[in-house]
């Protein structure tokens, strides 16, 4: 069974937080903690409480796959296999991650494509890479 990991996008600050940045430091005073994760009704929510009003982050789950450079692939990543660009998305229909090309072609993901796949960005920082044509 694989470990469930998440990263988070802060839309206000335009910053991506890696999983290790979301973990709280081990401090005696709990009031120093600022980033909290909540799982409610099957939905993960991540908030930063440093500001007066909480800032909600966008969580993205790790697929458990790695690209040819051994970089972990997350939901929302934009990847390239040969000359085709795909977005990593969660499919409710199959209850798993799939690759969706800019042409609308769906491909099943998995460890079998690790030698061919290359992360080239993500949907928050590199939106221009996935201008869908449908």
pLDDT tens by residue, 123-132 = 999 988 887 5
Residue 68 has pLDDT above 70, yes or no: yes
Please indicate, yes or no, whether residues 119 and 80 belong to a single structural domain of this protein: yes
pTM for the model stands at: 0.78
Phi, psi (degrees; rounded to nearest 5) at 48: -110, 125
pLDDT-derived band at 8 (thresholds 50, 70, 90) equals confident
What's the CATH code of the domain at 83? 2.30.30.290
Q: What domain range is 18 assigned to? A: 6-59
Residue 30 has pLDDT above 70, yes or no: no
Phi, psi (degrees; rounded to nearest 5) at 130: -130, 55
């Amino acid at each position: 069974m694989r470990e469930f990991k998440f990263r988070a996008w802060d839309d206000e600050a335009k910053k991506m937080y890696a999983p290790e940045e979301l973990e709280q430091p081990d401090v005696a005073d709990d009031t120093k903690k600022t980033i909290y994760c909540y799982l409610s009704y099957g939905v993960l929510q991540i908030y930063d409480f440093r500001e007066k009003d909480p800032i909600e982050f966008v969580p993205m789950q790790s697929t458990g796959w790695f690209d040819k450079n051994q970089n972990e692939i997350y939901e929302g990543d934009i990847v390239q296999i040969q000359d085709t660009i795909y977005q990593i998305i969660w499919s409710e229909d199959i209850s798993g991650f799939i690759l969706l090309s800019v042409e609308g072609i769906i491909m099943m993901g998995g460890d079998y494509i690790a030698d061919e796949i290359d992360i080239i960005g993500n949907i928050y920082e590199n939106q221009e890479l996935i201008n869908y044509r449908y």
